[in-house]
Amino acid sequence: MESLVEGDIIRIFNERGIKVQDTSTRRKGSYEGENYEYDIIAHNGKETVIIEVKTTLKVKDVKAFIQKLRKTRTYLRMDEDDVIYGAMAYLQADSGSEVYAQNQQLFVIRATGDSAAIVNAVDFEPARF
């Protein structure tokens, strides 16, 4: 799933005004005994989009991801002035989980056959973590 989404990440975020330049996948690490993993990280030096990828998106996945996003600055040792956005990517969604993710001010990315697209409205304002 990550490779399906990653191919379009730079393009779709640049179209939204977040000028990410490159991506990293499957970033794993440990910080003070806590293990972490990020599926896709898109960045440009000062703005970073952390993307969690799920085949089937569920509300519990969104809740867990938000908790992980709150620790990102510490885990990845980012400066206070760095901007962090969150995004959930999925192939299918259970019980309005994609709407829940948008209501939590996350970007929502729908993967389809051979591409991915942001489903949030054009005027969507994402949360900064």
pLDDT digits (tens, 9 = 90+) for 57-83: 999 999 999 999 999 999 999 999 999
Q: Is the pLDDT of residue 114 over 80?
A: no
For position 71, what pLDDT does the model report? 96
- Domains located in the chain, CATH noted: 2-118 (3.40.1350.10)
For position 129, what pLDDT does the model report? 95
For position 25, what pLDDT does the model report? 94
For position 115, what pLDDT does the model report? 86
Its pTM stands at 0.92
For position 6, what pLDDT does the model report? 86
How far, in Å, CA of 7 to CA of 116, rounded?
8
CA distances from 13 to 32, 43, 111, 127 (A): 32, 10, 14, 15
Average pLDDT estimate for 35-52? 95
How far, in Å, CA of 53 to CA of 126, rounded?
18
- The tens digit of pLDDT for each residue in 3-31 reads 778 889 999 999 999 999 999 999 999 99
Q: How sure is the predictor about 128, in pLDDT bands with cuts at 50, 70 and 90? A: very high
Q: Is the pLDDT of residue 113 over 90?
A: no
Lookup: tokens for 71: 């620790």
CA distances from 23 to 56, 60, 79 (A): 23, 26, 19
